[in-house]
């Protein structure tokens, strides 16, 4: 099971401030040793479930609720790390070959262009729009964005979400997390990662 000690190792003390109290676990980013007082994340147990909150100034906004404490603590760290992600800067894309070159040059792996593929962020055309979706391990499609009028915009959205997903998969591997890909908690995490509504 992923613990607070694992979280501390995963995040490291140089870039993140981690505080554990009777109320819950708080994570904030640090820059040059200074803790971000405006933003952060907070995990709190309430009635045998674990609620993850985003902190903005002095307010907390509930993001999600999980039942597995190990996954909840791990995802607290994932959200903190993803808050500092640097998205790729992509210019105009004119064809699939250019798109693949740009995506590959940015180290992106878990994507599919113009088709649906399991465990991937996918881009395909439907009518005049370019659709971005995530297809899970069981071939279930989750719509991310259906309002991209140009191929370039679709590729940019695809790249951003592929970076998020690739990072998430890398963190799972680094932390050696045992994930139940068929659980409700995993589905909740995926929906949050990709901003997918229920």
Nearest to 71 by CA among 152, 172, 164: 172
Is there a contact between 159 and 88 (Cβ–Cβ < 8 Å)?
yes
Nearest to 76 by CA among 171, 161, 142, 141: 171
User: Helix, strand, or coil here: 11?
Assistant: helix
Domain ranges of the chain: 4-84, 96-170
Residue 75's contacts (CB-CB under 8 Å, 6 or more residues apart) are 52, 66, 189
Query: Which pTM does this prediction carry?
Result: 0.93
What is the rounded end-to-end Cα distance, in angstroms, of the chain?
A: 27
CA distance 90 to 112: 17
* Digit-coded pLDDT (tens) for 73-127: 999 999 999 998 999 999 999 999 999 999 999 999 999 999 999 999 999 999 9
Residue whose structure tokens are 């994507």: 111
Is there a contact between 104 and 96 (Cβ–Cβ < 8 Å)?
no
Packed helices 69-82 and 151-175: angle between N→C axes, nearest 10 degrees: 130
The DSSP bridge partners found for residue 44 are 51
State the pLDDT at residue 14: 86
Question: Average pLDDT of each block of 10 consecutive residues along the chain (198 residues)?
Answer: 94 91 95 91 95 94 96 97 94 95 96 96 97 94 96 97 97 94 94 89
Burial of 82 (0-12, 13-18, 19+ CB in 10 A): middle
State the pLDDT at residue 184: 95
Residue 169's contacts (CB-CB under 8 Å, 6 or more residues apart) are 110
Residue 88's contacts (CB-CB under 8 Å, 6 or more residues apart) are 102, 106, 108, 159, 160, 163
Residue 30's contacts (CB-CB under 8 Å, 6 or more residues apart) are 14, 15, 16, 17, 36
């Amino acid at each position: 099971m992923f613990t607070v000690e694992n979280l501390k190792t995963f995040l490291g003390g140089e870039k993140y401030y981690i505080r554990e109290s009777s109320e819950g676990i708080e994570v904030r980013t640090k820059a040059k040793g200074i803790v971000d007082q405006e933003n952060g994340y907070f995990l709190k147990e309430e009635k045998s479930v674990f609620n993850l909150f985003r902190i903005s100034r002095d307010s907390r906004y509930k993001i999600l609720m999980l039942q597995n404490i190990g996954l909840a603590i791990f995802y607290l760290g994932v959200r903190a790390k993803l808050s500092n992600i640097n998205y790729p800067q992509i210019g105009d894309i004119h064809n699939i070959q250019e798109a693949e070159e740009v995506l590959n040059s940015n180290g992106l792996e878990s994507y599919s262009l113009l088709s649906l593929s399991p465990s991937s962020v996918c881009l395909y055309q439907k009518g005049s729009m370019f659709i971005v979706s995530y297809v899970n391990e069981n071939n279930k499609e989750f719509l991310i964005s259906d309002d991209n009028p140009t191929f370039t915009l679709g590729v940019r959205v695809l790249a951003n979400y592929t970076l998020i997903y690739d990072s998430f998969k890398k963190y799972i591997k680094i932390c050696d997390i045992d994930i139940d890909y068929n659980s409700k908690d995993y589905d909740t995490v995926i929906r949050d990662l990709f901003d997918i509504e229920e």
